[in-house]
């Protein structure tokens, strides 16, 4: 199904000027925190203010959002500072009261986007309403599910649609809170033309130091905008404290971004190079995993007085991998030499374990 899109047409925003910035705290906490943060952001030229009124938390018992009480605070931000306001909606009731309170932009969170029942209910609640809706990627990297969610909302008549790429959850926590997997939004853009793509480096990185490099990567990939969490006192934030920055740090980060407006051919090359970077990162993660397992084997061998190198197993690995490589269009010698190098490092790491007392 083709999406029927129309320009986002955010009032007062020049969307050609990349990046369009949406900034504000993870959560609305108090009226003072909200107004103070918004005022500072506005003084740096931020025109779109975000704040979570209802918060999807992993565990019960945490701060689950201030709720409806916070909506008039957002209205103040709109009326007094002239900013557009945005909040996350997860139920039809949220949609109804947010719109009644004059919220300008709705976004659907990553957890909700993973649930077609919930997305359909939201879509039904949005029927006949002309409001810009930003959809985060679902927590799992399922492009069809993501497109399906966009279709549900679009079928309800929402044509001012945009997506926010915030990365994907993983079992093992690594450098990123949510893996970027940049090739997924690149493919989404190839499949759906004219869909504005924003990046949320705050939830992707999970740490404030990662906001700048991830924002730069998003800009290099031609993303249209950024949604970044900013708080007047980040360390004391009631949610996502580690990934929020003060408005002046945000301004510094935005100021340092290099925005390249490359021609189409360069953009294609750039996106292919990013895919290479992405695959290389995955290779490194896999290699690190393999070494971790190797070290566990080393510990086992040590405990059972076995030798580090078990020649038969090594010979088997080399010939099997060589043949697998040939089936995938690579030369036997190339694949063997890679596995020789990997084996050498595995042995080195196992010997290290053996020699540790």
Rounded to a whole number of angstroms, the minimum distance from the CB of residue 310 to ligand PEP is: 46
Rounded to a whole number of angstroms, the minimum distance from the CB of residue 237 to Mn ion is: 9
- Binding piece for ligand PEP, criterion CB under 6 A, among 104-112, 275-283, 307-315, 318-326: 104-112
The rounded distance, in Å, linking the Cα atoms of 225 and 232 is: 22
Rounded to a whole number of angstroms, the minimum distance from the CB of residue 149 to Mn ion is: 20
Give yes or no for a contact between 151 and 187, defined as CB atoms under 8 angstroms apart: no
The rounded distance, in Å, linking the Cα atoms of 83 and 43 is: 11
- Binding piece for ligand PEP, criterion CB under 6 A, among 107-115, 245-253, 322-330, 337-345: 107-115
Q: By CB under 6 A, name the one of 20, 21, 22, 26 that touches ligand PEP.
A: 26
By CB under 6 A, is residue 201 in contact with ligand PEP? no
The secondary structure of residue 221, as a DSSP letter, is T
By CB under 6 A, is residue 205 in contact with ligand PEP? no
Q: How far from 261 is each of 62, 265, 353, CA to CA, in Å? A: 43, 12, 51
By CB under 6 A, is residue 110 in contact with ligand PEP? yes
Rounded to a whole number of angstroms, the minimum distance from the CB of residue 256 to ligand PEP is: 23
Reported as type and span, the H/E element at residue 140 is: none
Rounded to a whole number of angstroms, the minimum distance from the CB of residue 108 to ligand PEP is: 8
By CB under 6 A, is residue 21 in contact with ligand PEP? no
Nearest residue (CB) to ligand PEP, 56 versus 315: 56
The rounded distance, in Å, linking the Cα atoms of 349 and 293 is: 11
Nearest residue (CB) to ligand PEP, 232 versus 335: 232
Nearest residue (CB) to ligand PEP, 94 versus 203: 203
Structure tokens that stand for 256 in this block: 């340092």
The rounded distance, in Å, linking the Cα atoms of 12 and 102 is: 16
Residue 46 interacts with, from ligand PEP, Mn ion, none (CB under 5-8 Å by kind): none
Nearest residue (CB) to ligand PEP, 134 versus 339: 134
Distance of CA 51 to the CA centre of its chain: 17
Nearest residue (CB) to ligand PEP, 175 versus 306: 175
Nearest residue (CB) to ligand PEP, 238 versus 339: 238
Size of the site for ligand PEP (CB under 6 A): 11
For the chain, how big is the Rg over CA atoms in Å?
A: 24
Rounded to a whole number of angstroms, the minimum distance from the CB of residue 306 to ligand PEP is: 46
Rounded to a whole number of angstroms, the minimum distance from the CB of residue 193 to ligand PEP is: 24
Residue 138 interacts with, from Mn ion, ligand PEP, none (CB under 5-8 Å by kind): none
By CB under 6 A, is residue 166 in contact with ligand PEP? yes
Rounded to a whole number of angstroms, the minimum distance from the CB of residue 136 to ligand PEP is: 4
Q: Which residues bind Mn ion (CB under 5 A)?
A: 26, 240
Rounded to a whole number of angstroms, the minimum distance from the CB of residue 110 to ligand PEP is: 4
Alpha carbons within 13 A on the beta-carbon side of 184: 22
By CB under 6 A, is residue 102 in contact with ligand PEP? no
Would you say the C-alpha torsion 241, 247, 248, 254 has a positive or negative sign? positive
Residues 39-58 that bind ligand PEP (CB under 6 A): 52, 56
By CB under 6 A, is residue 122 in contact with ligand PEP? no
Distance of CA 215 to the CA centre of its chain: 11
The rounded distance, in Å, linking the Cα atoms of 248 and 45 is: 11
Long-range contacts, 229-232 (Cβ 8 Å, 24+): 229/23, 229/24, 229/25, 229/26, 229/50, 229/202, 229/203, 230/23, 230/24, 230/25, 230/37, 230/41, 230/46, 231/25, 231/26, 231/33, 231/37, 232/25, 232/33, 232/36, 232/37, 232/40
The rounded distance, in Å, linking the Cα atoms of 65 and 55 is: 5
Give yes or no for a contact between 151 and 193, defined as CB atoms under 8 angstroms apart: no
Reported as type and span, the H/E element at residue 16 is: none
Binding interface with ligand PEP (CB under 6 A): 26, 52, 56, 88, 109-111, 136, 166, 200, 203
């Amino acid at each position: 199904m083709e999406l029927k899109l129309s320009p986002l047409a955010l009032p007062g925003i020049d969307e050609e000027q990349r990046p369009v910035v949406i900034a504000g705290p993870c959560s609305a906490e108090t009226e003072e925190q909200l107004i103070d943060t918004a005022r500072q952001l506005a003084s740096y030229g931020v025109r779109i203010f975000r704040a979570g009124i209802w918060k999807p938390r992993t565990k019960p018992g945490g701060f689950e959002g201030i709720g409806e009480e916070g909506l008039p605070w957002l209205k103040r931000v709109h009326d007094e500072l002239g900013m557009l306001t945005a909040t996350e909606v997860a139920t039809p009731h949220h949609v109804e009261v947010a719109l009644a309170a004059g919220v300008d932009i709705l976004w659907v969170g990553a957890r909700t986007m993973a649930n077609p029942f919930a997305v359909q209910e939201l879509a039904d609640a949005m029927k006949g309403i002309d409001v810009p809706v930003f959809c985060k990627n679902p927590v799992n990297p399922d492009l069809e599910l993501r497109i399906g969610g966009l279709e549900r909302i679009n079928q309800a008549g929402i044509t001012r649609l945009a997506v926010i790429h915030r990365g994907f959850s993983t079992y093992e926590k690594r450098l990123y809170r949510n893996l970027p997997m940049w090739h997924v939004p690149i493919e989404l853009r190839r499949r759906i033309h004219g869909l504005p793509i924003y990046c949320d480096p705050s939830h992707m990185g999970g740490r404030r130091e990662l906001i700048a490099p991830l924002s730069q990567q998003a800009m290099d990939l031609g993303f249209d905008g950024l949604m970044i969490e900013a708080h007047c006192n980040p360390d004391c934030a009631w949610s996502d404290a580690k990934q929020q920055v003060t408005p002046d740090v945000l301004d510094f980060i935005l100021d340092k971004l290099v925005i390249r407006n490359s021609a189409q051919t360069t953009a294609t090359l750039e996106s292919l190079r990013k895919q290479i970077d992405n695959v290389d990162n995955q290779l490194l993660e896999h290699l690190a995993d393999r070494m971790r397992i190797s070290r566990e084997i080393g510990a086992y061998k040590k405990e059972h007085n076995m030798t580090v190198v078990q020649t038969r197993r090594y010979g088997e690995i080399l010939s099997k991998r060589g043949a697998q490589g040939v089936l995938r269009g690579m030369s036997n010698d190339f694949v063997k030499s890679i596995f020789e190098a990997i084996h050498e490092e595995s042995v080195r790491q196992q010997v290290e374990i053996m020699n540790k007392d």
